[in-house]
Amino acid sequence: MSLTGRSVRVRVPATTANLGPGFDTLGLALALYDELEVSVRDAPGATVEVHGVGEGEVPTDESNLVVRAMAYTFERVGQPVPGVNLVAHNAIPHGRGLGSSGTAIVSGIMAARGLLEGIATIDHSMLLAIATELEGHPDNVAPALFGGLTIAWTSADGPKHKKLNVHRGVSPLVLVPEFTLSTEVARSLQPQTVPHEDAVFNVSRSALLVAALTQSPELLFESTEDRLHQSYRGEAMPETRDLIAALREAGFPAVVSGAGPSILVLCNDPAQRAQATELAESVSTSSWRSLPLAVDFKGATVVSVPERN
């Protein structure tokens, strides 16, 4: 069956991973989106048009991460890779710990899924498997795919996830700096082993954090304490480290967003977000963009676009 003329629109949310103690396990989808339209053409290859974040910076040919993820998905289900035209409207900051690379991967997979509707079936488990193969960690892609709060793990049968609904009282705030940090650099600072008491500490806080996010937002401050990764990565982003310390000293449940350098503050009411923003502006010498964001509950979506006459 020819795909020529098929077109889909994809929308994928930003994500924040770890959430403090939930290292490589917990993730949250945020209401900030990259959107794209992909159209199949007769000629092979790809052309990419980017608007917003990444315009003039990211590749605009087959090496583009969205295109590569889409091609990988076609090959994974045994279908020939078509030529495509792609138009992207990006809002998620790059290199800031908000899942931009995972979002690009999920965007390509969802585009392939939409274009292959009626030809190949890609269910939820396969979506997560393909995304994890490309990204490396299920906690980074599960919330982008499925929305809400996700717990991700890897079993003998491959990556798995559990989606949970977030308490309506949780009000996320993301503070985004002008500087960037690569995930590879952040991970290189992690020790191979940690003290037993630190591991036990994080197990307790991770369990408490799930309860705080789903049932008891008043526990968010205590439940976001961490001893596994943030202190080790602090030397690579001292401005982030120092601002988190100031926020937590003032009682705000602030953590590194993903690998950083953005900061996630899991407030328990909207007014607290304004207070945290004011504090950040008053104590930091760096410039931070304040993004008060809702939790995204839908995850990635794809819809077919009617053929144009």
- Return per-residue pLDDT of the chain as tens, 309 residues: 679 889 999 999 999 999 999 999 999 999 999 999 999 999 999 999 999 999 999 999 999 999 999 999 999 999 999 999 999 999 999 999 999 999 999 999 999 999 999 999 999 999 999 999 999 989 989 999 999 999 999 999 999 999 999 999 999 999 999 988 766 665 666 667 888 888 898 999 999 999 999 999 999 999 999 987 787 777 788 999 999 999 999 999 999 999 899 999 999 988 999 999 999 999 988 899 999 999 999 999 999 998 765
258 among annotated binding-site residues: no
Looking at this protein, which amino acid is placed at residue 286?
A: S
243 among annotated binding-site residues: no
Residue 97 structural domain: 7-164+296-304
The answer on 35 and 101 residing in a single domain is yes
The answer on 129 and 179 residing in a single domain is no
In a domain, 130, yes or no: yes
Q: Which segments within the chain are labelled E, that is strand?
A: 7-17, 26-41, 46-52, 83-90, 149-155, 158-164, 171-177, 254-256, 263-267, 288-292, 301-304
The answer on 228 and 79 residing in a single domain is no
The answer on 80 and 224 residing in a single domain is no
Residues near 287 by beta carbon (within 8 Å), at least 6 away in sequence: 177, 178
Q: How many helices and strands, by DSSP H and E, does the chain display?
A: 10, 11
In a domain, 32, yes or no: yes
d(CA 240, CA 261): 6
Phi, psi of 104 (to 5 degrees): -65, -45
* Residue linked to tokens 């009282």: 169
In a domain, 189, yes or no: yes
The answer on 119 and 212 residing in a single domain is no
Contact 22, 33 (CB under 8 A): no
The answer on 269 and 198 residing in a single domain is yes
The answer on 67 and 11 residing in a single domain is yes
Alpha-helical runs (H) found in 42-160? 65-76, 100-115, 124-135, 138-146
In a domain, 2, yes or no: no
3-state secondary structure of 261: coil
The answer on 211 and 287 residing in a single domain is yes
284 among annotated binding-site residues: no
103 among annotated binding-site residues: yes
* Residue linked to tokens 């590194």: 256
Specify the CATH number for the domain of residue 247. 3.30.70.890
102 among annotated binding-site residues: yes
97 among annotated binding-site residues: yes
223 among annotated binding-site residues: no
Specify the CATH number for the domain of residue 40. 3.30.230.10
The answer on 211 and 78 residing in a single domain is no
In a domain, 309, yes or no: no
The answer on 238 and 91 residing in a single domain is no
94 among annotated binding-site residues: yes
In a domain, 199, yes or no: yes
101 among annotated binding-site residues: yes
The answer on 244 and 149 residing in a single domain is no
Number of domains within the chain: 2
Cα-atom radius of gyration of the chain, to the nearest Å? Answer: 20
The answer on 188 and 154 residing in a single domain is no
Other beta carbons within 10 Å of 89: 16
In a domain, 256, yes or no: yes
95 among annotated binding-site residues: yes
* Residue linked to tokens 């007769």: 42
pTM of the model: 0.94
In a domain, 1, yes or no: no
